[in-house]
């Protein structure tokens, strides 16, 4: 009985969501900026998976290495052009995730406690969710590539 109710509620919730428009705050980015953000996002996801994989093997050296690669060092890779266009709170949430991964790396090295790392990872990922709940990317109107029409005709057949 209870599970039927739960399924009904999930159905209602997802139906409602399907009829809604995406009300998350819009980040108007150029194609290049969008690619930069999404590339970093995919690195965060695969890095997180690498951490879980290392955790499952209780390989804390690998946990530390993978977590470090998602730390503050990751954020400094050519992001100045993005800092100027992204909202301050967005940058801060991003930074707090990078800092959390640095802390995970440091603790993995010194404490070698898998449960502690799992808790830290879960907490860090709440920030992934918080940010995703609040923002969406849309391409800036002037970055559709229409203005560079002539470049579409440059199909060079070289060999």
Q: Which residues of this chain interact with ligand HEC, rule CB under 6 A?
A: 27, 38, 41-42, 44-45, 48, 90, 93-94, 97, 125, 127-128, 131-132, 135-137
Of 44 and 55, the one with the shorter C-beta distance to ligand HEC is 44
- For 78, 95, 156, the CA distances from 129, given in Å and listed in that order, are 25, 14, 44
Integer Cα distance of 49 and 110 in angstroms: 21
CB of 38 to ligand HEC, least distance (A): 4
Q: How far apart are the first and last CA of the chain?
A: 68
Of 22 and 147, the one with the shorter C-beta distance to ligand HEC is 22
CB of 135 to ligand HEC, least distance (A): 4
Of 56 and 151, the one with the shorter C-beta distance to ligand HEC is 56
Of 3 and 19, the one with the shorter C-beta distance to ligand HEC is 19
* Tokens describing residue 139: 């391409």
Cα–Cα nearest to 140, from 39, 37, 33: 33
- 136 bridge partner residues: 26
**E-state strands within 9-146:** 25-29, 135-139
Integer Cα distance of 65 and 23 in angstroms: 37
CB of 137 to ligand HEC, least distance (A): 4
CB of 21 to ligand HEC, least distance (A): 13
């Amino acid at each position: 009985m209870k599970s039927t109710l739960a399924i009904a509620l999930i159905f209602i919730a997802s139906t409602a969501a399907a009829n809604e428009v995406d009300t998350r705050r819009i980040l108007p980015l150029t194609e290049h900026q969008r690619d930069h953000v999404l590339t970093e996002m995919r690195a965060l996801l695969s890095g997180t998976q690498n951490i879980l994989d290392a955790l499952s093997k209780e390989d804390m050296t690998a946990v530390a290495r993978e977590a470090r690669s998602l730390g503050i060092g990751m954020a400094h890779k050519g992001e100045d052009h993005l800092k100027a266009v992204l909202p301050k709170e967005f940058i801060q949430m991003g930074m707090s995730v990078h800092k959390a991964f640095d802390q995970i790396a440091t603790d993995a090295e010194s404490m070698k406690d898998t449960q502690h790392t799992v808790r830290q990872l879960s907490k860090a990922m709440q920030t992934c969710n918080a940010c995703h709940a609040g923002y969406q990317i849309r391409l800036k109107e002037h970055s559709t590539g229409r203005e560079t029409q002539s470049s579409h005709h440059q199909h060079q057949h070289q060999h």
